[in-house]
Structure 1
Amino acid sequence: MSVAQNIRAAREYHNYTQRYVAARLGISTTAYSKIERGASMPGLARLRDIAAILHTTAEALVARQMPAVPLAEALQTLAEEVRLLRQTIHDKLGPLPQ
């Protein structure tokens, strides 16, 4: 997927409108639409702003494929897996040192 397609997919995932994202960026809906169509490529600072609004990273937006889940969900899942692993170790070996 292109950067433009990744941006659009992330926006649609959150059910945000182009108008909403454009307003958060302080640009016109037309200017934002050009970014999603690939007619305009945002600079790094603007890309980071877009990523923050869409709860992802600039790196994810420029990757060939978007992660299957947003970063926040992935981190939450990882934290739960760590908790379960700690519980398993505790059950087998006793309390872990802090």
Structure 2
Amino acid sequence: MKTIAEKIRLYRLEHGLSQENMADSLGISTTAYGDIERGKTDLTLSRFYQIAEVLNISVAVLMGQTTPLQQELQQLAVEKLQIENEKLRLENQYLREKIAGRMIIDLIQKDAPTTSERQRIGF
């Protein structure tokens, strides 16, 4: 499980902010902010709320807590990916079979005698 300091860093990076941006927004030095991300500084509750506000996320999200609705949405996203994966697997299987069938037809046509090679029978 990620520490809160690691989560702060990840969310900062997701938002495209530098440590300098965060430090300026919080009114602290870049070194002081870097110490927060490295876990060297214990966060006060007010600073924690400030960080969440700058990152535009809830404190609960920053702490890693999810609501039942968020959990359900995550589960639905996983199920959607599983369905898409199965669809791609079936499409891949279909294309392989189609290619194999086409290769067989090409081999048969290659080995079949042309009309000039055929011998007339009978009459």
Give the secondary structure class of the aligned counterpart of 1:7: helix
CA separation of 1:37/1:64 partners in 2, compared to 1, >3 Å: closer, same or farther?
farther
In the aligned structure 1, how far is the partner of 2:43 from the partner of 2:60? 13
Given the two structures, how large is their TM-score scaled by the length of structure 2? Answer: 0.50
CA drift of 1:63 comes to: 2.0
2:55 corresponds in structure 1 to: 54
Superposition pairs of residues 21-36 of structure 1, within 5 angstroms: 21-36=22-37
Q: Give yes or no for contact 1:2–1:64 (8 Å, CA) kept in 2.
A: no
Q: Return structure 1 stretches of 4+ with deviation > 3 angstroms.
A: none
Partner of residue 115, structure 2: none
Separation of aligned partners in 1, 2:27 and 2:34: 13
Q: Which runs of 5+ in 2 are unaligned?
A: 67-72, 74-123
Q: What is the CA–CA distance in structure 2 between the aligned matches of 1:64 and 1:6, rounded to whole Å?
A: 12
Output the CA distance in 2 between the equivalents of 1:15 and 1:41: 24
d(CA) in 1 for partners of 2:34, 2:64: 20
Do the aligned partners of residues 32 and 2 (structure 1) sit closer, same or farther apart at CA in structure 2, a change above 3 Å counting?
same
The TM-score normalised by the length of structure 1 is 0.62
C-alpha deviations, 1:33-54, integer Å up to 9, x for none?
Answer: 0000011121111100000100
The Cα of 1:59 is off from its aligned counterpart by: 1.8
Amino acid at match of 2:5: A
Alignment of 1:1-98 (within 5 A): 1-63=2-64
1:64 CA drift (Å) = 6.8
Alpha-carbon deviations, 1:39-92, whole Å to 9, x = none?
A: 112111110000010011122222279xxxxxxxx9xxxxxxxxxxxxxxxxxx
Higher relative contact order (CA 8 A, sep 6+): 1
- Alignment partners' CA distance in 1, 2:58 and 2:28: 20
Q: Tell me which structure has the larger Cα radius of gyration.
A: 2
